[in-house]
Amino acid sequence: MKPTASSHPRAAFLALAATTLIMWSTHATASAQASRYRAEELLEQGVQLREAGEDAAALEAFEEAQRVSPSGQALAQIGLALQALGRFTEARIRLSDALMLGGTWVERYRSQLQEALGNIESRLARLEVETNVEGARVLVNGSDVATTPLLHSLYVEAGTVVLEILHEGYHPYRARVEMEEGAFERRSVRLVALPETAAALDAAEPSGDGLFTIAIASLSVGALGLATFAVSGALAESEFAEVEARCGLARTCEESDLVTLDRRALIADIGLGIGIAGALAGAILLPIALNEGPEDEPNLSLEIGPSSLTLRQSF
């Protein structure tokens, strides 16, 4: 008796699944091929419209081709149509994306596309923006274009540019910038915190008094380290002279004498390291603390000598 499909339900299920997969794959391939054919028709239609001087209609055809079947060719044609319409900022973005995406058509005309991109960039101006707050929105002529910190300058249309920088908890910044073709402008903007934000930042950051205390503590540690270096160094020099005189040419020094000298030298080196680190930390933090403190505080100056650390004050 031969086996039937009913006697092997698993085999029947696998056969059905394989058939379904083949049919789905064939349908997907046919659908993708149809989309490519449609996109090619739209691209050809767009080229014909551009040759007829109907750049706006051509742009619509190219954008529809990109929606139906995305490609570097469609992006490049969109960029060229935008260039013809004088929308240089958008044209630069589309052409840059096309050159990055690549493709057979893009590689064939890469030199021409790069030349077009250069011409577009020469018609634009560049605006570099720096702020003191990360995560702020940067708007140009009402459109979001970036978030701080910016990794590169912005290409903007020549003419009057409305620059806005917005961040929750800070007063908004808004300015009009006059830009000429090919010009470069750098704007360094300091956003001012709203009262409640400023209070929160003050609570989170060390105050001037706190920094002053840390600076004085660092200087004190530095002074202690330098003093340790001076004392241990002097003792090491003295004991070395005694050991050298006692040992003489007979070389009757005991190992304990050498161990003591090494210990003295090590303590002196550690003291010197601590002294230098403390002095540097104090010298860096002290001016910052004084700048953040009230104006009626005394003026302090730091003087570092070979083996001394002096802090002077004047009113």
Interatomic CA distance for residues 147 and 161, integer angstroms: 17
- One domain, residues 113 and 36: yes
**Secondary structure (DSSP) of 205-244:** SPPHHHHHHHHHHHHHHHHHHHHHHHHHHHHHHHHHHHHH
Residue 40 in any domain: the answer is: yes
Q: Which two tokens stand for residue 218?
A: 């660092």
Query: Any alpha helices (H) in the chain, and if so which ranges?
Result: 9-51, 55-68, 72-84, 88-101, 104-108, 110-122, 195-204, 208-247, 255-292
Residue owning tokens 């081709």: 65
pLDDT at 74: 96
Report helix angle 88-101 to 72-84, nearest 10.
160
Choosing from 193, 217, 250, the residue where a domain stops is 193
Most distant CA pair in the chain, distance: 116
Residue 174 in any domain: the answer is: yes
pLDDT at 273: 80
Are 215 and 286 in contact by the 8 Å Cβ rule? The answer is yes
Residue 170 in any domain: the answer is: yes
- One domain, residues 182 and 247: no
What is the extent of the structural domain holding 243?
206-314
pLDDT at 259: 66
Residue 6 in any domain: the answer is: no
10-residue mean pLDDT series, the chain (315 residues):
54 60 57 86 95 96 94 96 94 95 95 96 94 94 93 92 94 94 92 81 59 74 73 69 61 62 72 75 70 49 50 48
What letter does residue 132 receive in the DSSP assignment?
S
Count of domains observed in the chain = 3
Interatomic CA distance for residues 141 and 130, integer angstroms: 18
- One domain, residues 144 and 63: no
Taking the whole predicted model, whether its pTM rises above 0.75 is answered as: no
Interatomic CA distance for residues 182 and 121, integer angstroms: 8
